[in-house]
Amino acid sequence: MKKRLALVVSLTAALVLSGCKEESLTVEAESTIPVKTVELQPKSIQEFVTATGTAYAVRDVSLKTEQAGRYILHTNTRAGRPFRMGDGVRRDELIISLENPEFVNQVAYDSKKLQKESAQREFTKQQSVYEKGGITLKELNDAERAFIDSKYNFENAVLSLKKLEIRAPFDGVIVDLPHYSDKKWVETNTVVAQNMDYSRLYTELTLPGKDMENVAPGQPVVVSDYSRSEKTQTGSVTQISPALDPESRMFKLQVEVPNAGLLIKPGSFIKADIVVRRKDAVLVIPKTVVLDRRGAKAVFVVERGIALERRIQTGIENADEIEVVSGLKAGDRMVTEGFETLRDRSRVKIIE
């Protein structure tokens, strides 16, 4: 009797365990995989050739003294203090002057101004006398020559005195201003400031010879500072050398870019993406979702809760995206996250 009871208990336990196992298998078979998707719509894609270089201001000049004198730094009237590095300056604005009384005396500005005014009055008087027949043509010409000579002498005096002034040659920014004590004697040909306009930048790039046929003047270039890669400016290719360097087999090209907001600083290490091809109204997908199937490319799309593997043909690409030529259509819901564990016809659940 005890043996029969033990047998019944064992059979019952076995049946219960068997039932649990079957239920587990059923749940596993019907489980779904969470995925994120995106509905494909036509958009634009650009293909780049990328190079790196250094950003330079299109206009940059070191301001040197043309005459020796005692150093006087002028006031930035907009800031109410002496000029500093980083201050903006306007064209012809006086930044520094030099004090040299001996040189001023040698120029004799006041004397030459009086000589010019006197010669001009004399020439005007002689013209009137000549019209009345009072002097000869030679005498009139002599008076005119004296006036012209005095005029040039005066203009030279003006130019000489300007050598004691350091003015901004264009609208820009003071990027260097070496320190000199007030009234310190400064010799001729001394750099006392550097003025830069970096509202436009240029950079010289080098590319492998194989890229020469893909690059042309006028092509757009997306430029970014490596330290601030999210901030970009768009310029264009301006010059291309037709010759390759015999050692590196590289060629040079120059790019200019407007620097709106002065986001890119002169001297920055930059990345330049030259747009060599562009397509509009095509299907574009992230390169990260493309799977390698023994040399073929595939992605997953979702239809009625089922993930379907699609083989695709691709076109142009860049670092992040790739064009799909065939295998997908607008409106397809493509899997962008969770595709790594999918198999063809896996049951999935789309999550936000």
The CATH number of 33-45+280-350, from 2.40.30.20, 2.40.420.20, 3.30.310.50, 1.10.3720.10, is: 2.40.420.20
* Between 35 and 23, residue with greater pLDDT: 35
Backbone angles phi, psi at 253, to 5 degrees: -150, 160
Identify residue 277 by its one-letter amino acid code.
Answer: R
pLDDT at 235: 97
| pLDDT tens digits for range 233-287 | 999 999 999 999 999 999 999 999 999 999 999 999 999 999 999 999 999 999 9
Task: Give the number of other Cβ atoms within 10 Å of residue 236's Cβ.
Answer: 15
Indicate the length of the chain as a whole number: 352
Q: What is the pLDDT of residue 230?
A: 80
Q: Has residue 23 got a pLDDT over 60?
A: no
Please report how many Cα atoms fall inside a 13 Å half-sphere around the Cα of residue 210, on the Cβ side: 1
Q: What is the DSSP string of 148-160?
A: HHHHHHHHHHHHH
Give the per-residue pLDDT at 146. Answer: 95
In the block, residue with structure tokens 């799977």: 291
Token pair 């040909």 in the structure block, residue: 189
pLDDT at position 145 over 60: yes
Q: What is the model's pLDDT at position 328? A: 97
Please give the model's pTM, rounded to 2 decimal places: 0.74
Architecture category of domain 48-57+197-278 in CATH: Beta Barrel (2.40)
Q: Torsions phi, psi of 244, nearest 5?
A: -95, 145
Judge whether residue 105 has pLDDT over 90: yes
Tens digits of residue pLDDT in 303-322: 999 999 999 999 999 989 99
Whole-angstrom CA distances from 189 to 68, 69, 92, 330 are 8, 11, 19, 68
Strand partners, 54: 269
Compute, in degrees rounded to 10, the torsion defined by CA atoms 274, 278, 283, 286.
0
Q: Which of 11-15, 66-70, 74-78, 258-262 has the lowest mean pLDDT?
A: 11-15
User: Where are the CATH 2.40.420.20 domain residues in the chain?
Assistant: 33-45+280-350
**Cα angle at 74 between 73 and 75, to 5 degrees?**
130
Task: Classify residue 332 as exposed, middle or buried by CB count within 10 Å of its CB (0-12, 13-18, 19+).
Answer: buried
Q: What is the pLDDT of residues 176-185, one digit of tens each?
A: 999 999 999 9
Class of domain 63-194: mainly beta
Write the DSSP string, 35-58.
EEEEE---EEEEEEEEEEEE-EEE
| pLDDT average, residue stretch 287-306 | 95
Which residues of the chain are in CATH 2.40.30.170 domains?
48-57+197-278
Residue 39: count other Cβ atoms within 10 Å of its Cβ: 9
300 contacts 290 by C-beta, under 8 angstroms: no
Instruction: Give the per-residue pLDDT at 77.
Output: 95
Q: In whole angstroms, give the CA distance from residue 328 to residue 282.
A: 11
Percent of the chain exceeding pLDDT 90 equals: 87
User: What pLDDT is stored for residue 6 in this prediction?
Assistant: 40
pLDDT for 227: 85
Secondary structure (3-state) at 241 = coil
What's the sign of the alpha-carbon dihedral 14, 15, 18, 23?
negative
Average pLDDT, the chain: 91
